[in-house]
């Protein structure tokens, strides 16, 4: 488990520019690339018969990482919400991602822009559109 | 297991200023208060409001009335057909607080700082009282004239005459250098 944690930590600079991670080996194992990480998570949420628990577990774990998930992972997660008829979680995911961006205020608008077609297709309103982004 | 304890304790994340991590662990959530007022049944899935764990084990309101049930049915259809109000209602069924609501500052610090000052004040009163009523009379060696004679004796004895005490006294002029 410790090695896995190190792998995730070593992989944790998810930047929009996709520069390859500076090689810092914390263990002797192979370090997962950004692309592999993304692909793994997209696959996780793409499971056709994903259940509610798996969605929650996946999202909570993903949000626990020191990174903001890529648009394609979020796209996959939102579609999973649709399969589970869970609009609330879809909106919650958007809120969580905005919060994860922290001081980097440009990440969230970028993601919303990237997810635009998906949000339109699935009929998901952003927190801003619903007015719940303000107190 | 650790999760549950964390949820109970409300730890985390270096509170980015204003991040409210108060866990809301109440089973009887349908009355809408959400603060733990009764003993929480930890053997059942919990609800919580946490920034770092966006999707709790159960929705906030899991006892649905007719209206809510109808809404949940509508949720199974295309979401584009839901009105804004319906979407907000669906969100509120599942979640008690939005992220901005969770991150609200509470003003708790005022209570804390106020409490600190109050107790420091009370302590001060206790200290003053005890200096009147508890301490025994001061030893006679503290008296002004005793101190003066003590100092004179030290000079007469040439205490630390090279670098210290008496070295600083000018014996010719009878004053401090």
| A77 alpha carbon, distance to own chain's centre | 8
Per the prediction, chain A carries an average pLDDT of 88
pLDDT of residue B9: 43
Write down the domain spans for chain B. Answer: 1-44, 54-104, 107-135, 138-177
Q: Are A70 and A37 in contact (CB under 8 A)?
A: no
Q: What backbone phi and psi angles, to 5 degrees, belong to A23?
A: -75, 110
pLDDT of residue A28: 85
- Give the single-character DSSP code of B139: P
Non-local (6+) Cβ contacts of A130 within 8 A are A91, B84, B87, B88, B91
pLDDT digits (tens, 9 = 90+) for B34-91: 555 678 889 999 999 999 999 999 999 989 899 999 999 999 999 999 999 999 999 9
The pLDDT of residue B1 is 54
User: Are B60 and B90 a contacting pair, CB within 8 Å?
Assistant: no
Pick from A85, A122, A125: CB nearest B84: A125
How much is the pLDDT for A135?
Answer: 86
Residue of B38, B58, B39 whose CA lies nearest to B49: B58
Q: CB-based contact (8 Å) between A127 and chain B?
A: yes
ipTM: 0.79
What is the pLDDT at residue A27? Answer: 79
Full 3-state SS string of B87-150: HHHHHHHHCCCCHHHHHCCCCHHHHHHHHHHHHHHHHHHHHHHHHHHCCCCCCHHHCHHHHHHH
Tell me how many degrees the CA angle B143-B149-B152 measures, rounded to the nearest 5. Answer: 140
Residues of chain A found within 8 Å of residue B6, distances taken between Cβ atoms? none
In chain A, the percentage of residues whose pLDDT exceeds 70 is 81
Q: Which residue of B has its CA nearest to A86?
A: B75
Which among A60, A98, A125 has CB closest to B55? A60
What tens digit of pLDDT does each residue of A43-54 get? 999 999 999 999
Is residue B115 very low, low, confident or very high in pLDDT (cuts 50, 70, 90)? very high
Best mutation target, A60, A69, A81, to test chain B (most B CBs within 10 A): A60
Overall average pLDDT of the B114-121 stretch: 98
How far is the alpha carbon of A130 from chain B, nearest alpha carbon, in Å?
Answer: 6
- Across the interface, of B57, B95, B99, the residue whose CB is closest to A99 is B99
Chain B residues whose beta carbon lies within 8 Å of the beta carbon of residue A50: none
Locate the chain A residue with the closest alpha carbon to B56: A56
pLDDT class for B92, splitting at 50, 70, 90?
A: very high
d(CA A27, CA A4): 9
């Amino acid at each position: 488990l410790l090695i896995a944690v190190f792998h995730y930590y070593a992989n944790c600079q998810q930047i929009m520019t996709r520069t390859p991670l500076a090689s810092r080996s914390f263990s002797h194992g192979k370090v997962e690339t950004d692309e592999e990480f993304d692909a793994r998570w997209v696959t996780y949420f793409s499971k056709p018969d994903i259940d509610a628990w798996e969605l929650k577990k996946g999202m909570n774990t993903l949000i626990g990482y020191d990174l903001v998930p890529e648009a394609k992972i979020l796209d996959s997660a939102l579609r999973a919400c649709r399969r589970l008829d869970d609009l609330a979680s879809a909106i919650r995911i958007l809120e969580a991602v905005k919060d994860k961006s922290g001081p980097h205020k440009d990440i969230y608008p970028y993601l919303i822009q990237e997810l635009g077609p998906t949000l339109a297709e699935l009929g998901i309103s952003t927190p801003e559109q619903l007015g719940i982004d303000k107190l | 297991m650790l999760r549950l304890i964390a949820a109970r304790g409300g730890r985390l994340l270096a509170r980015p200023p204003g991040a409210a991590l108060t866990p809301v662990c109440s089973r009887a959530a349908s009355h809408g208060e959400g603060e733990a007022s009764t003993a929480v049944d930890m053997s059942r899935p919990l609800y919580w409001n946490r920034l770092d764990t966006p999707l709790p084990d159960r929705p906030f309101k899991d006892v649905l009335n007719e209206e809510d049930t109808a809404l949940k049915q509508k949720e199974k259809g295309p979401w584009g057909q839901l009105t804004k109000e319906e979407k907000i209602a669906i969100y509120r069924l599942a979640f008690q607080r939005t992220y901005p609501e969770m991150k609200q500052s509470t003003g708790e610090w005022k209570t804390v700082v106020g409490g600190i000052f109050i107790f420091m004040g009370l302590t001060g009163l206790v200290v003053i009282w005890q200096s009147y009523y508890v301490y025994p009379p001061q030893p006679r060696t503290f008296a002004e004239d005793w101190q003066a004679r003590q100092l004179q004796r030290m000079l007469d004895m040439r205490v630390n005459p090279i670098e210290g005490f008496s070295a600083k006294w000018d014996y010719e002029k009878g004053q401090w250098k």
